[in-house]
């Protein structure tokens, strides 16, 4: 509700802008000053119909405040003064088409609603009713129309599955440069030093001891000093290690 000693006066005569509670509180105050009984009512305005679940989704941002006016002989009459606002058409106008994001939200909300109704609030009669209703709906569904309605969700599921697989594929086919450098190092050691590298079993320092190669030891010191501390190689370090691999390890036994 509007707060402060002059909150409603500032809304009526100065800012002339505000949320629904400003319109409702000011309108009720003016009516009471004119001797007309009035009261504020809080609730929700609107809702998104969920075709899958067969219910209306009413969220917190749809909270609204309006006024009820008492008219002798008619009783309490609802009046929503927010309709007097210049942008009232944005609320009471025609609704835009449902976006894909909203469709996804309604899909997951329907699944959550079904789970809560059929499992969390365990009720055998309710479960039987859900099963009977689902069977009746399935009998009346045409395969073509059902596939057409589900096609956007199937495509979305395929896209999400593809996106989830991108990190794994990217890591496999496009490994970070530290890993590429280490692979090239292993191949060079095997070729120049004749030392078979058991990857994953032999560490860098152990490999350097096995080869007895000074340059292999130097590579291990630099690489392990960075990567084994959960850091990334700098450009200078990467170029230095790359040059060592290109030069080879034949002459420093």
Encoded tokens for 146 = 């059902």
CB contact at 8 A, 44 and 60: no
pLDDT at res. 37: 96
Q: What is the pLDDT of residues 229-241, one digit of tens each?
A: 778 888 888 888 8
* Pair of tokens at residue 63: 């909270």
Convert the pLDDT of each residue in 101-151 to its tens digit. 777 888 888 888 777 766 666 566 766 777 777 777 666 656 666 566 666
Query: Per the residue annotation, which of 51, 80, 192, 215 is the catalytic one?
Result: 80
- Tell which phi-psi region holds residue 67, choosing left (phi > 0), alpha (psi between -120 and 50) or beta: beta
pLDDT for residue 104: 81
CB atoms within 10 A of CB 14: 9
pLDDT number for residue 95: 63
What gap in Å lies between CA 233 and CA 227, rounded to an integer?
A: 7
Residue identified by tokens 């009413």 is 58
64 is a catalytic site residue: yes
Tell me whether residue 210 is exposed, middle or buried, using C-beta atoms within 10 angstroms of its C-beta: 0 to 12, 13 to 18, 19 or more: middle
CA 5 to chain centre: 42
The DSSP-derived string for 202-252 is S-HHHHHHHHT-HHHHHHHHHHHHHHTTT----HHHHHHHHHHHHH-SSS-
Q: Specify the 3-state DSSP secondary structure of 163.
A: helix
Q: Is 123 considered catalytic here?
A: no
Given the residues 51, 64, 221, 235, the one annotated as active site: 64
Delimit the domains of the chain by residue range. Answer: 7-92, 100-172, 177-247
Annotated catalytic residue 164: no
For the chain, the average pLDDT equals: 80
- Express each pLDDT in 160-191 by its tens digit: 776 665 555 555 566 788 888 888 888 888 88
Q: Mean pLDDT across the stretch 190-209?
A: 82
Q: Which secondary-structure segment (H or E) carries 55? A: strand 55-57
């Amino acid at each position: 509700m509007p707060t402060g000693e002059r909150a409603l006066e500032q809304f009526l005569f100065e800012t002339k802008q505000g949320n629904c509670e400003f319109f409702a509180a000011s309108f009720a105050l003016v009516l009471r000053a004119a001797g007309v009984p009035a009261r504020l009512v809080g609730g929700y305005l609107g809702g998104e119909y969920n075709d899958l679940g067969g219910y209306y989704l009413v969220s917190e941002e749809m909270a609204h405040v309006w006024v009820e006016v008492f008219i002798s002989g008619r009783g309490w009459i609802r009046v929503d003064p927010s309709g007097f606002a210049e942008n009232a058409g944005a609320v009471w106008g025609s609704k835009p088409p449902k976006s894909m994001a909203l469709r996804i939200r309604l899909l997951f909300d329907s699944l959550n609603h079904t789970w809560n109704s059929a499992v969390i609030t365990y009720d055998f009669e309710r479960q039987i009713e859900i099963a009977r209703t689902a069977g009746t709906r399935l009998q009346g569904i045409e395969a073509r129309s059902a596939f057409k309605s589900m096609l956007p969700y199937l495509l979305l599921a395929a896209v999400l599955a593809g996106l989830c697989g991108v990190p794994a594929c990217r890591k496999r086919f496009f490994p970070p440069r530290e890993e590429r450098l280490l692979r090239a190092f292993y191949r060079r050691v095997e070729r120049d030093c004749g030392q078979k590298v058991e990857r994953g079993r032999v560490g860098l320092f152990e490999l350097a001891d096995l080869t007895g190669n000074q340059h292999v030891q130097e590579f291990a010191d630099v690489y392990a000093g960075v990567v084994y501390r959960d850091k990334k190689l700098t450009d200078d370090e990467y170029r230095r290690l790359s040059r060592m691999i290109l030069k080879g390890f034949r002459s420093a036994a």
